[in-house]
Chain A
Amino acid sequence: MIKKTVENVREACAGIEDGMTFMLGGFGLCGIPENIIGELVRRNVKDITCISNNAGVDDFGLGLLLKKHQIRKMISSYVGENAEFERQMLSGEMEVELIPQGTLAQRCEAARSGIPAFFTPAGYGTEVAEGKESREFHGKMHVMEKAFEADFSFVKAWKGDEAGNLIFKGTARNFNPAMCGAGKITVAEVEELVPAGTLDPNHIHIPGIFVQRIFKGERYEKRIEQRTVRKR
C-alpha cells in the first residue's frame, strides 16, 4: 500500500504558489473542498486561475477567494448567484471564460486520461467555437476542445482511505472524480478517513493512483443554496 495521508490541510496545500492554476470540484456549494478553500484564503495565494463549474456565493465557497481578490481568472460554466463575482467581471478586475458544462467536465477527464484534445458538438455555431478548429463527423459539426493543464486538483469526497481511494456521496460527486488526476497534484479532503482495507474495493469510485494527498477535513458546513421542501 502506498500511503497518501497527510496530517492536515496545511500540509495538504504545500507547494501552492501565486499564479498557479487550480481545479476545484463541486456543483454550486455541493461537494466543494471547504477546508482547502479556507486554507487558500488563509495563505492569501494570489493571481490564481480557477477551473470550477461555479464560483460560490458571496460569503461561501470560491466567493471567499473572490472577496479577497485572489482570483485572476475563472473558467466556469455558470456563475450566477454571486454579486461580487458580477462586479469584478463587469469591471474587468477578473477575467472570465465561460464554457459548456459538459466540455468543462470532459476537459478535466481528458487531462487525467492523457487525451490532449477531443471533438464535441457543444457550442458549434456559437461564440464558444470562435477561433477553434471544427470538423464534421457523421454529418454533424464538432468543435475541438483541449485538455486542461492545472497545477493542483482540489477535490472533496465522502470517504477515503490511507491509499487515497475515494468514495463520493449523492450529487456531491459531480466534478470531483473527473478532476482527480487531472492536475499535476491531486489533493483530496474527506469527511471520513479510514485505514486501508476498510473500504470494499468494489465500491471505490476513484482509485488512489489519481490522488497524491488525502486528509480528513476539520469541519464541514455543507451549506444548502436553495432549500426546497414539500409539505407532509
Chain B
Amino acid sequence: MALSKEQIAQRIAKEVKDGYYVNLGIGIPTLVANFVRGDISVEFQSENGILGMGPFPFEGEEDADLINAGKQTITALPGASFFDSAMSFGMIRGQHVDLTILGAMEVSQNGDIANWKIPGKLVKGMGGAMDLVASAENIIVAMMHTNREGESKLLKSCSLPLTGVKCVKKIVSNLAVLEIIDGKFHLLERAPGVSVEEIKQATEGDLVIDGEIPEMNL
C-alpha cells in the first residue's frame, strides 16, 4: 500500500534528530511536527519570524500576531524567539537551520527541484522556497511519486521552472525513500507492500537498486 500523507510525514519524522533546528514547508511537511519523538529536543523555525513554534492554539486563544508561514494561527513554546524576516533568512542562508523539509511538483535525478510555478496556469510565487533550497545543507522532499495521471514526478530532468539546482539529497514519497547520489536516484526503502517493480514503473529518472530493498519502518 502506498503511504498516506500522514505516513509520509511519519517516515520523515524519523530523520529529525536531537538538537535540530528544522524548517517545515506548507502541506505534508507541516504534519511532520506531529510525529517527532517526544524524547528529543527539536525547535521548529517558521520563516516569517519564529523559532520554537508550538502547536495550534486552543480555541479562543488565537492571536492574530502569532502565525506560521502558512498564515495559520500557532503558539510559541518555552524558549521561543521572534525575529524579523531579514534575520530569519540570515538563519537560513547562513546554514544555521539543520534541516529543511518541503514539498515538490518535480525532482530530477541531479537534485533539481521545481515547486513554484506551472506556466500558463496559476502562479502563486516561490515564497521562501528558493532561499531555503539554495542554502540548506540537508533537504528532504516530501512528495507524491506520480501525478494524478500516474506520470512520474521523479524525472531525468524537470520540465517545470526550477526552484533550485542540484540541492535535493533525499526524497520520501508515497512509494519509497530515495537518495540522490552522483546524478541518480538510489532506492533505499519501499513503502509497506509496494514492490521494487512498482517503484521502477513510477520513476522516470535513472533508478539504482542495490541488493535487497527493505520495507520502511513507520
A contacts, CB < 8 Å to B: 27-31, 53, 76-81, 86, 89, 98-106, 108-109, 120-128, 158, 168-178, 205, 222-232
Contacts and interface: CB of A to CB of B under 8 A. Distances in A.
B82 A170 contact: yes
B68 to A, nearest CB: 8
A176 B57 CA distance: 25
B86 interface: yes
A232 B59 contact: yes
B162 interface: yes
Contact of A226 (B70, B126, B161): B70
B124 to A, nearest CB: 4
19 contacts: A27-B48, A27-B69, A30-B67, A31-B65, A79-B123, A79-B125, A101-B127, A102-B93, A102-B130, A120-B131, A123-B130, A171-B46, A171-B50, A171-B67, A226-B67, A226-B72, A228-B62, A229-B56, A230-B55
Given A79-B124, A122-B134, A102 B89 contact: yes
A166 to B, nearest CB: 11
A171 B82 contact: yes
A99 B163 CA distance: 11
Nearest to A112: B86
B25 to A, nearest CB: 12
Given A31-B65, A101-B126, A170-B65, 17 more contacts: A101-B89, A101-B131, A102-B92, A104-B85, A105-B86, A109-B86, A121-B134, A125-B162, A126-B130, A170-B50, A171-B46, A171-B48, A175-B85, A177-B86, A225-B67, A225-B71, A228-B74
Contacts of B122: 86
A101 B57 CA distance: 26
Contacts of A78: 124-127
B69 to A, nearest CB: 8
Given A28-B67, A124-B165, A171-B46, A229 B126 contact: no
B128 interface: yes
Interface string B32-74: 0000000000000011111000011111111111111111111
B131 A102 contact: yes
Interface string B130-153: 110011000000000000000000
B65 A120 contact: no
Interface residues of B, number: 54
B88 interface: yes
Contact of B66 (A28, A76, A170, A232): A170
A229 B127 contact: no
A29 B71 contact: yes
A102 B94 CA distance: 12
A28 B71 contact: yes
A104 B164 CA distance: 17
Contacts of B92: 102
Contacts of B71: 27-30, 81, 225-226
Contacts of B93: 102, 120-122
B213 to A, nearest CB: 32
Interface string B161-180: 11111100000000000000
B86 A98 contact: no
Among B58, B66, B72, B89, max chain A CB count under 10 A is at B89
Given A77-B128, A122-B134, A108 B62 contact: no
B128 A98 contact: no
Contacts of A104: 85
Nearest to A98: B125
Contacts of B82: 168, 170-171, 173
B169 to A, nearest CB: 15
Given A120-B93, A124-B165, A230 B57 contact: yes
A108 B84 CA distance: 12
